[in-house]
Structure 1
Amino acid sequence: MRQSLKKYAVVLAVTLSAMAGGDAFAAIKKEPNDKKSMTVTATAYNSVKGQTDDDPWTAAWNNRLRPGDKIIAVSRDLEKHGLTNGTKVKIEGLPGTYTVRDRMNKRYTNRIDVWMEKDIKQARSWGKKKLKIIWDHEK
């Protein structure tokens, strides 16, 4: 009986997570030099009406976005792991270092959104992918 309840609980957790768009088993891994890593779903967004609020060039923590900046938004569940305003992040498959400057709607989990300025075509081409991110434990 106890074992079947455990199986039921795991199935329920995975189902609820899938319905919410998250990953019930997202694991934070320790990397060398006191860094952390995890696999997230990565999408892209633009500073255009319909994808942001009234001021598409101002991010959630009141940071002004400027052309050429390498910016990401994070789902709110990632903030508890240190991915907060100003955190530097390496993204698998992308050159350079990105800075967390924006946050996503609370309906998203285990997700980042790569800022692609006003280039909607580039954002659509990027699509949705699973990839690894690495960040410092401390800012």
Structure 2
Amino acid sequence: MPSAGPWRSVNSAASRLLLFVLVCAGFVSGCVHTGGEGAQSITAHVVSRPAGAGEGSSDCFDLGAMDDPDRLFRAACPPRQTLAVKAKAYVSHGRKKKTGYPRGAWGDTLGPEVKAIAVSPDLVNAGLGYKTRLTIEGLPGEYEVLDLMHGRWRKTIDIYFGDDRQAARLWGNRTITISWE
């Protein structure tokens, strides 16, 4: 039977952890795959994946995926925060001002291609400040906090749909889950 490689022979979580510790110790001491080079030259051997590399393309890993050598030596991912919020939709006005598209609360131009949301003030205090990137249940991609809602709203976000009034009407008002780091 041909060998399946060293990663296939590691079956239990305890043996994976032991292998991880041993390999890390070798990298720190400069003995593994570096020919005895120091720790400074080791950093040149660890590169991050390109942005479009699919799932796991960030520079962090979760401890459940230790069988991927490309992800083995990245920093652990910070825990993602999740929150159930009311989600509404908003669009640019039908008539454009002479200056172009509207601006968010922090001065960012909200063009039709921008994936932006407005958050209620209590969510800013909860960690969803300016330029925070988050994912929205039911929508693809990541959105960025670029606008602020009126103070009367609580646990509410407004999703910017550019000029697409029909999509905004289809979205309506929902209770969804958002997550961010």
Band the TM-score falls in, shorter-chain normalisation: 0.5 to 0.7
* Distance in 1, Cα, partners of 2:118 & 2:91: 11
Counterpart of 1:79 (choices 108, 120, 124) is 124
Cα deviations across residues 91-132 of structure 1 (Å, max 9, x unaligned)? Answer: 011110000000111111100011001112211111000010
Counterpart of 1:107 (choices 152, 157, 161) is 152
Higher gyration radius (CA): 2
Gaps of 5+ in 1: 1-31
Gaps of 5+ in 2: 1-76
Identity between Structure 1 and Structure 2 (%): 38
- Which structure has the higher relative contact order (CA within 8 Å, separation 6+)? 1
The answer to whether structure 1 residue 59 and structure 2 residue 59 are counterparts is no
Q: 2:101, 2:111 within 8 Å by CA — same for their partners in 1?
A: no
TM-score (norm. length: structure 2) = 0.53
Cα deviations across residues 19-43 of structure 1 (Å, max 9, x unaligned)? Answer: xxxxxxxxxxxxx732211000001
Counterpart of 2:143 (choices 81, 85, 98) is 98
* Distance in 1, Cα, partners of 2:110 & 2:143: 13
Letter aligned with residue 120 of structure 1 = R
* Distance in 2, Cα, partners of 1:111 & 1:133: 11
* Distance in 1, Cα, partners of 2:126 & 2:155: 11
Greater alpha carbon shift after TM alignment, 110-119 vs 54-63: 54-63
Task: Tell me the residue number matched to 2:5.
Answer: none
* Structure 1 or 2: more strand by fraction: 1
Shift, 1:56, TM fit: 5.2
Counterpart of 2:90 (choices 38, 45, 52) is 45
Any runs of at least 4 consecutive aligned residues in structure 1 with deviations exceeding 6 A, and if so which? none
Shift, 1:55, TM fit: 7.4
The answer to whether structure 1 residue 119 and structure 2 residue 164 are counterparts is yes
Shift, 1:81, TM fit: 1.1
* Distance in 2, Cα, partners of 1:85 & 1:59: 10
Q: 1:76, 1:103 within 8 Å by CA — same for their partners in 2?
A: yes
- Give the alignment of 1:14-53 within 5 angstroms: 33-48=78-93
- Paired residues in the alignment total 102
Task: Tell me the SS of whatever aligns to 2:168.
Answer: helix
